[in-house]
Amino acid sequence: MTSIDLRSDTVTRPTAAMWEAMRRAELGDDVLGDEPTVSALESKVAALLGHEAALFTPSGTMANQLAIRCVCEAGDEIIAHRESHIIHYETAAPAALSGCAIAGLDGPGGLFDPEEMRRALRGRDIHSPRSRMVVAENTHNRGGGTIWPLEQLQELSRAARSAELHFHVDGARLANASVAGGYAMRDVGTLTDSISICFSKGLGCPVGSALAGSHDLITRARRFRKMFGGGMRQSGLLAAAAIWALDHHVDRLAHDHANARRFARGLVGTPGVELELAPDAIPTNMVFLRVAPALGAASHLAARLADRGVRLIPMGPQRLRAVTHLDVDAHAIDEAIAAIRSVLDEAMRPSGTIRR
Ligand SMILES: *Cc1c(COP(=O)(O)O)cnc(C)c1O
What pLDDT does 352 receive? Answer: 52
At 351 the pLDDT is 64
Any ligand 1 atom below 6 A from CB of 209? yes
> What is the pLDDT, as a whole number, of residue 1?
72
Q: Which residues pair with 320 in a beta bridge?
A: 289, 314
The count of residues in the chain is: 356
Would the CB of 324 count as within 6 Å of ligand 1?
no
Q: Look at ligand 1, atom 8, and give the residue with the nearest C-alpha.
A: 61
Q: Output the CA 204–ligand 1 centroid distance in Å.
A: 14
Is the minimum distance from the CB of 198 to ligand 1 under 6 angstroms? yes
Question: In the chain, which ranges are continuous DSSP H helix?
Answer: 16-24, 36-49, 60-71, 85-88, 93-98, 114-120, 150-162, 174-181, 185-189, 215-227, 236-248, 253-267, 298-307, 330-348
Task: Tell me the pLDDT tens digit for each residue of 266-291.
Answer: 999 999 999 999 999 999 999 999 99
Rounded (5°) CA angle 115-120-124? 120
What pLDDT shows up at residue 349? 84
Give residues with Cβ within 8 angstroms of 131, minimum separation 6.
76, 77, 79, 103, 120, 121, 122, 163, 165
Q: What is the pLDDT of residues 132-184, one digit of tens each?
A: 999 999 999 999 999 999 999 999 999 999 999 999 999 999 999 999 999 99
Name which of 342, 285, 304 is nearest 6 in CA terms.
285
Low-confidence ranges of the chain (pLDDT < 70): 351-356
Q: How much distance in Å is there from the Cα of 85 to the middle of ligand 1?
A: 7
Report the predicted TM-score, pTM, of the whole model to 2 decimal places.
Answer: 0.96
